[in-house]
Amino acid sequence: MSDGHRRVRVDSVTKLFPNAQGGTFTALQDVTFDVGDFEFLSIIGPSGSGKTTLLRILGGLEFPEHGAVVIDEAEVRGPGRERAIVFQDFALLPWRSVLGNVVFPLELRRVAKGERDRRAHEAITLVGLAGFEDYYPNMLSGGMQQRVGLARALAVEPEVLLMDEPFGALDAQTRTVLQDELLQIWERDRKTVVFVTHDMAEAVFLSDRVLILSANPGTVHRVVTVELPRPRLDELRRTAEFADLVGDVWETLQTLTR
Amino acid sequence: MDAGDGTSPGGAAVVQPRPALVKVRAPGREWWFLPLRILSVVVLLGAWQAFGGQERSGIEFLPRFSDVVQGLVSLVQDDEFWRATRDTVQVLVLGYALTVVVGIPIGVVMGAKHIVRRALRPLVGILLATPIAPLVPILIIMLGIGISARVATIFILAVPILIENTAASVATVPRRLVDMGHSFGASRRQLAMAVIVPASLPGIFAGLRLAAGRAVVGMVVGELIIASAGLGQLIQLYSTTFDAPKLFATVVAVLLIGLGAVQLVQIAERRSGRWRR
Amino acid sequence: MGNVADVDALSRPRARQSRVRRFVSGAWQRYPGALVILGLLILWEIAGELQLFAFLPSIREIVDAGVTLLERPDVWRSWGRTLLEVFVGTAIAVGLGFVLGVSMAQSRVVEALFGLYVDLFQSAPVSAFVPVIGLVFGLGYSAIVATVTIFAFFVFTVNTYTGVKNVDPRLIEMARSFGAGRVAVQFRVVIPAARPMMLTGLGLAVGRGVNGGILGEMLISIVGIGGLLMYYGGAFQEDFVFALVFMVLIIAVVLMSLIQRLADKYEERMR
Ligand SMILES: Nc1ncnc2c1ncn2[C@@H]1O[C@H](COP(=O)(O)OP(=O)(O)O)[C@@H](O)[C@H]1O
Ligand SMILES: [Mg+2]
C-alpha cells in the first residue's frame, strides 16, 4: 500500500498526435495522478482512451506536448534504469533463447557475465520457467512467452514496473494463473506497478487503486480505491466484495462507452 | 517435454513439439517422385545423345551428350581452363564483396530512415530494372577491359537487389522490438547491432542470395562481352572456333560456379537462421 | 507503421525558416526521390561539360546524340527488329511457362518430371548459354528469339507456379462445395487467384527478355540495338552508347511498370 511517499507523479500530461486530416488529435488531456511507493495501480478505459500512450510516456518512449512525468523528483526524459516495461505482445527476440532474452537488457547495461546469468536464472525461476532456459520463443505457448517478458523486466530489478495489457493476448484460464503468480511475486518483492488492462476483474484483483480513463480525449474520469485485504488468493474472486467492486467499475465504464 | 521437471509451469502453458531446425524441401513423399525425376533426367540425356551430333534443318549444330562429357574431361585436364576459372572466381569474389560492403550499410540506413528510403528508392528501382548488357560497353569505355570493368558489372547488377532487400527487412522490423530495446536503454549502436540487424537477418540473407545469383550473371555477361579473360573468354574462343563439346563443357562449368555461389550463401543462411521456424 | 523510422521522426522543433528554405525543404520532404535523381543528372551534366572524366559525355551531348539517332531510319528499323524479337520471344516464354507452371503446381507427376530444371535454371546465369544458342540456332532471327525466350521463360514459370501453389485451398473447397468441376475451378478460382503473381512474373520476364535480346544481338549476330551498341562502343562514341542505353532503359522501365501497375490493380481488387 501507499505509505504516502509519491514515487511517480503524472502532472497535467497532454499528448497530441497528428491525425489523417493534417490536424492534431488529442490522445491525452491534462492527465494528472500519482502512484505511491510500492503501490499497484491499474489503468483501465475504453479502447482508444490513451492507456498505451500513457504507459509509453511513463516508459519514456513517447513525450507529452504539455505537462511532465516525474519519478523520484526527476523528470522523465527517456527510458531509465529504474523502470522496466512488460509489453502486451511480449516483444521477445525470436533469435534468442529464453535465457538470451532475459539477459538481453543486462547485456545492454554491461552487467558482468556471471552476475548476468545469476540474475537471469533467478528471474526465470521466479516466473516458473526453470528448465526452459534453452527454449526458443516459438517453441513456447503464449503464457510462457509472457513469463519470459516478465522475467526480463524483473531481471533488471526495476523500482517501477510498467505493464501494458501484459495478459491481454492470453486465454482466460492462463490469464488468471498469471495474475495469481504476478501477485505472489509482487508480495515477495514489492515494487511500484502501473498496470494497463481492459479487464475489470483483473484490475480489481491486482490493484490498490484503479484509474479509469475516458476517451476522446483521454482524461482521468475516476479513481476507485480497492480496499480488499492482501495477500489476495484465487478465492477472493468469488466473494461478494470483489463482485461489488467489479460491478462498480463496470458501471462507470458503461457510462463511458455509451 | 524434455526439459525441466517435466511439468508445465502454471498448468495452462503447453510446449509445442520442438520443430525441425532445417526445413526439408519436398522432393516429395510419394515413393515414385524421385524415381520419376531420375527417369526424366535419363530420358533427357538419352534424347540429347540420340539427336545430337547431326545437322538438322533449323538446328545448326548440337554436340552429343557424350561429346560434352568428353569435352568436360579434357577441360579438367587443361591448365588453361583452371587459370581461367581462377580468374573468373576471383572477379566474382571481388565484385560480390564490394556489393556486400556497400549494399548492406546503405540498405540499413535506408530501412531505418524514412526520408533516406524515400530519397533512394526510385534510384534503386531504376537500377533494378536496368538491363545490364547495354551498360557493359560503357563500362569498357570508362574502365578499360581489365578487371575493374568486370567487377563493376557484377556490382551494378547485384547491389540494387541487396539494398532493396536489406532496406525492406530493416523497415519492417517489428516496432515492439525496437521499443523494447529503447525501453531497456539501448544506445543507437546497441539497437542496431542487437535488435535491428538480427531481426532483419532473414531478409538480408534473402538479399544476399539474390545478389549472389545476380553477381554470377554479371560475371558471365561481363566476361562474354569483354572477352578478355576468364571463362567468358574461353566460351567466346570455343564458340568462334566451333568447338562445340568444349563450349558446352565450359558453359556447364560456369553454371556449376553459379550454383556453388548461391549454395554457399544458403549454407550461411541456414547456419544463422536456426531460430526461425 | 511498425518501423524503425518512426522513432526518430518525433520531436524536432521547427525553427523559423526563410521562404526559400521552406520551399526547398518542402520539396525535399515531398519529392526526395525525384530530387536525388535530378541532382545526380545535374552533377553529371556539370562533370560532362567540364570534361572531368575522359569518357563521360555531358547530358546535353547524350541528348544531341539521341536526337541524331532518332532522325535515322535505320535506327528505327533496329528498334523495330529488337522489339519484335523481344515480343515474340517473351510471348513464347509466357505461353510455355503458363502451361508448365500451372501444371507443375497441380500435378506432382509434372513436378517430378520438370521441377528440377526449373529449380536449376531460375537463378542460373542463362547468359552463359548465349554463345551455345548461336551455335545451335545459327546466326539469324531465330537465335535472338530463342535467347529472349530462355531469358524470360524461367521467371515467368516460377512465378506462375508459386502463384498457383499459393491459392488458398479453402477457396477451391468453397468452389467445389458449390458444385464447380475441375475446369471451372481452374478458370474461376485458380487462375484468377494466381493472376497477380503471373503479372509480376510477366513484368520480370519482359525485363529479362529485353536484356536477353540485346545480349543476343551483341554476342551472336551484331544486329538491332545490341548491334548498334557494339558498333558505337567499339568506335568509342560514348555519347551514342549512352543515348542508346537511356532509350533501352526508358523502354524497359515503362514496359515493366505498366505491367506491374496492372498486377497491382488485380492484387488490390483481391484484398
Ligand atoms: N503514433 C500515433 N500516431 C497517431 N495516433 C496515435 C498514435 N498512437 C496512438 N494514437 C491514437 O491515440 C489514441 C489512443 O491510443 P492508445 O494509447 O493506443 O489507446 P488504448 O491503448 O487505450 O487503446 C488512439 O485514438 C490512437 O489512434
Ligand atoms: Mg493499448
What does the domain layout of chain C look like in residue ranges? 72-270
Give the atom of ligand 1 at the shortest distance from the alpha carbon of A18. Answer: 4
Q: How close is the Cα of A164 to the center of ligand 2, in Å?
A: 7
Residue labelled with grid coordinates 527454449: A135
CATH class for the domain made up of A1-78+189-258: alpha beta
A32 — phi, psi (to 5°)? -135, 130
CATH class for the domain made up of C72-270: mainly alpha
Residue A129 has pLDDT above 90, yes or no: yes
Q: Does B263 touch chain A (CB under 8 A)?
A: no
Residues of C in contact with B178 (CB under 8 A): 4, 7
pLDDT tens track for A168-213: 989 999 999 999 999 999 999 999 999 999 999 999 999 999 999 9
* Contact between chains at A128 and B14 (C-beta distance less than 8 A): no
Mean pLDDT of A137-146: 92
Q: How close is the Cα of A198 to the center of ligand 2, in Å?
A: 9
DSSP A218: B
Residues of C in contact with A22 (CB under 8 A): none
CA dihedral A11, A12, A13, A19 (to 10 degrees): 180
Which pLDDT value is given to residue A19? Answer: 86
Q: Quick one: closest CA in A to B183, which residue?
A: A79
pLDDT tens track for B73-130: 988 898 989 999 999 999 999 999 999 999 999 999 999 888 999 999 889 988 888 8
Pocket residues: Cβ below 6 A from ligand 1: A 17, 25, 27, 45, 47-53
Cα angle: A20, vertex A25, A27; to 5 degrees:
130
Assess whether the previous peptide bond of C131 is cis (omega < 30° from 0): no
Which pLDDT value is given to residue C105? Answer: 92
Residue B56 has pLDDT above 80, yes or no: no
Q: Does C238 touch chain B (CB under 8 A)?
A: yes
Q: How close is the Cα of A62 to the center of ligand 2, in Å?
A: 14
**How distant, in Å, are the alpha carbons of A42, A161, A187, A232, C174 from that of A191?**
14, 7, 9, 16, 55
Mean of all residue pLDDT scores within chain B: 82
Contact C122, B259 (CB under 8 A): no
Angle between helices B114-129 and B147-171 (to 10 degrees): 130
- Domain that includes residue B169, residue range: 77-276
Q: How close is the Cα of A156 to the center of ligand 1, in Å?
A: 28
**Residues in chain C, how many?**
271
Confidence of residue C253 (pLDDT cuts 50, 70, 90): confident
Residues of B in contact with A128 (CB under 8 A): 9-10
Letter string b/e over residues C235-265, b meaning 16 or more CB atoms within 10 A of that residue's CB: eeebbbbbbbbbbbbebbbebbeebbebbee
**How close does chain A come to B193, measured CA to CA in Å?**
11
Q: How close is the Cα of A17 to the center of ligand 1, in Å?
A: 8
Residues of B in contact with A85 (CB under 8 A): 179-180, 183
**How close does chain B come to C238, measured CA to CA in Å?**
7
Contact A107, B200 (CB under 8 A): no
Confidence of residue C271 (pLDDT cuts 50, 70, 90): low
* Contact between chains at C131 and B217 (C-beta distance less than 8 A): no
Mean pLDDT of C230-254: 89
Q: What share of chain C in percent tops pLDDT 70?
A: 90
**How close does chain C come to B118, measured CA to CA in Å?**
6
Residue B249 has pLDDT above 50, yes or no: yes
pLDDT tens track for B192-240: 889 998 899 888 998 999 999 999 999 989 888 887 888 988 888 888 8
Q: How close is the Cα of A100 to the center of ligand 2, in Å?
A: 27
Q: Is C97 helix (H, G, I), strand (E, B) or coil?
A: helix
Cα separation of B67 and B53, whole Å? 9
Q: What share of chain C in percent tops pLDDT 90?
A: 44
Give the residues across from A40 on adjacent strands.
A193
Chain A interface, best mutation among B8, B169, B184, by max A CB count within 10 A: B184
Instruction: Give nearest CA residue, ligand 1 atom 2.
Output: A17
Residue B176 lies in a domain: yes
Question: Under the phi-then-psi rule, with left for phi > 0, alpha for psi from -120 to 50, and beta for the rest, what region is B74?
Answer: alpha
Residue B57 has pLDDT above 90, yes or no: no
Q: How close is the Cα of A12 to the center of ligand 1, in Å?
A: 18
Residue labelled with grid coordinates 568462334: B240
Cα separation of A155 and C116, whole Å? 52
Residue B14 lies in a domain: no
Contact A224, A250 (CB under 8 A): no
Give the atom of ligand 1 at the shortest distance from the alpha carbon of A56. Answer: 17
Q: What share of chain B in percent tops pLDDT 90?
A: 36
pLDDT tens track for C1-53: 344 434 343 344 445 567 888 888 888 888 888 899 999 999 999 998 988 88
Which pLDDT value is given to residue B244? Answer: 83
* Contact between chains at C11 and A62 (C-beta distance less than 8 A): no
Contact C171, C189 (CB under 8 A): yes
Which pLDDT value is given to residue C66? Answer: 94
| Subunits adjacent to chain A (3 or more Cβ pairs under 8 Å) | B, C
**How close does chain C come to B98, measured CA to CA in Å?**
20
* Contact between chains at A62 and C10 (C-beta distance less than 8 A): yes
H helices then E strands: how many in chain C?
13, 0
Mean pLDDT of C242-248: 92
Residue B275 has pLDDT above 60, yes or no: no
B84's grid cell: 581461367
Cα separation of C209 and C16, whole Å? 53
Residue C74 has pLDDT above 70, yes or no: yes
**How close does chain C come to A109, measured CA to CA in Å?**
21
Cα separation of B48 and B62, whole Å? 9
Is the interface score ipTM higher than 0.90? Answer: no
Which pLDDT value is given to residue B137? Answer: 86
Which pLDDT value is given to residue B59? Answer: 54
Residue B15 has pLDDT above 90, yes or no: no
Size of interface B-C (CB pairs under 8 A): 191
Contact C248, B254 (CB under 8 A): no
End-to-end CA distance of chain C: 19
Maximum pairwise Cα distance, chain C: 73
pLDDT tens track for A210-258: 999 999 899 999 999 999 999 999 999 999 999 999 999 999 999 987 6
Q: Does B5 touch chain A (CB under 8 A)?
A: yes
Looking at the structure of chain B, the number of domains it has is 1
> By CB neighbour count within 10 A (0-12 exposed, 13-18 middle, 19+ buried), where does B89 fall?
middle
Letter string b/e over residues B213-235, b meaning 16 or more CB atoms within 10 A of that residue's CB: bbbbbbbbbbbbbbbbbbbbbbb
Q: Is C178 helix (H, G, I), strand (E, B) or coil?
A: coil
Give the residues across from A160 on adjacent strands.
A83, A192
Residues of A in contact with B5 (CB under 8 A): 130-131
**CATH code for the domain of B193:** 1.10.3720.10
Amino acid at B34: L
Test site for ligand 1: of A13, A16, A21, A25, most ligand atoms within 8 A of the Cβ = A25
Give the number of whichever ligand sits closest to the CA of residue A87: 2
Assess whether the previous peptide bond of A231 is cis (omega < 30° from 0): yes
Which member of C32, C111, C215 has the closest CB to residue B133? C215
A148's grid cell: 519470459
Cα separation of B200 and B257, whole Å? 28
Instruction: Give nearest CA residue, ligand 1 atom 24.
Output: A48
Give the residues across from A15 on adjacent strands.
A28
Give the number of whichever ligand sits closest to the CA of residue A49: 1
Q: Does A62 touch chain C (CB under 8 A)?
A: yes
**How close does chain B come to A114, measured CA to CA in Å?**
20
Contact A61, B183 (CB under 8 A): yes
Cα separation of B36 and A109, whole Å? 59
Residue labelled with grid coordinates 531478409: B203
Mean pLDDT of B9-32: 44
Which pLDDT value is given to residue C121? Answer: 85
**How distant, in Å, are the alpha carbons of B130, B139, C242 from that of B135?**
9, 6, 8
- Residue spans of the domains in chain A: they are 1-78+189-258
Residues of B in contact with A173 (CB under 8 A): 12
B20's grid cell: 525441425
Strands A192-196 and A6-18: unpaired
**How distant, in Å, are the alpha carbons of A117, B22, C10 from that of A114?**
5, 32, 38
